[in-house]
Amino acid sequence: MSKLSLVLGCLLAAESFAVKVADCPKKITVEASDFRLTKKVDDLIQDDDFGGMPEEQEKAIRTSYKNLSDKEKVSRSFKLKSAKSGRCIYSGTDLEKIEVFSRSGDDQLYLQTKLGPRGTLLRVYAEVQSLSPEEVKLGKEGRIALAIPRYPYTTYLAGGPLKFVGKAKQVSAE
């Protein structure tokens, strides 16, 4: 391959991301409220991903689900940590973060925060309608999910199932 075709390939790849890193605001606040749970905790526990789970993990999932059902809203503010490869990443302590990214041609945002024991996290996903250094406009509703670490780990860094359990009827960013 010639140097010119390599350079053009790199430029085209950089332009293929819908989220432009130059549009990432330096700071972001996301608030989600009015949670509507559509999946019952017993259905979540009976899911194939958790076949034969230890009692400790089941208790952690039940506690996390209860914590979510007791929440009226969640709000987090973070400063921009990195902007590269079509992603704007804002992070706080531990695994709490907000990320703006493109997936299948759609711009999305998710807010991730601690929810329960054994490293269970809450994620709220929302559609990004527009992004600029001054403003982030989101679709009105979002989807909520539990990010559950694989057993025996107590952090989601090891991965694990992401289970969508309902909707956030109000999601906003500033």
pLDDT digits (tens, 9 = 90+) for 91-138: 988 889 999 999 888 899 999 999 999 999 999 999 999 999 999 999
The alpha carbon of 143 is separated from its chain's Cα centroid by a whole number of angstroms, namely 10
**Domain boundaries, position 101:** 3-173
Output phi, psi for 37, to 5 deg: -80, 130
In what helix (H) or strand (E) does residue 70 lie, and over which residues does it extend? helix 55-70
Residue 76: pLDDT band with limits 50, 70, 90: very high
**pLDDT at residue 111, as a whole number:** 97
Q: Residues of 112-124 as b/e, b for ≥16 C-beta within 10 angstroms? A: bbbbbbbbbbbbb
Q: Which amino acid is at 158?
A: A
CA distances to 28, 68, 107 from 78, in Å = 6, 21, 19
Per cent of the chain over pLDDT 90 is 63
Output phi, psi for 43, to 5 deg: -65, -40
pLDDT digits (tens, 9 = 90+) for 7-37: 444 444 444 457 888 899 999 999 999 999 9
**pLDDT at residue 162, as a whole number:** 93
In DSSP notation, 140-153 reads EEEEEEEE-PPTT-
Place of tokens 């759609």: 106
Number of domains in the chain: 1
Q: What is the mean pLDDT of the chain?
A: 87
Q: Can the peptide bond before residue 152 be classed as cis, meaning omega within 30 degrees of 0?
A: yes
Supply the Cα-derived Rg of the chain in whole angstroms.
Answer: 18
Averaged pLDDT for residues 32-43: 94
- Smallest CA-to-CA distance from 81 within 68, 92, 65, 95 is with 92
Averaged pLDDT for residues 141-153: 92
Q: What is the pTM of this model?
A: 0.85
**pLDDT at residue 1, as a whole number:** 55
What's the token pair of residue 165? 């359990």
Spell out the residues 6+ positions from residue 97 whose beta carbon is closer than 8 angstroms to its own.
78, 81, 89, 90, 91, 111, 112
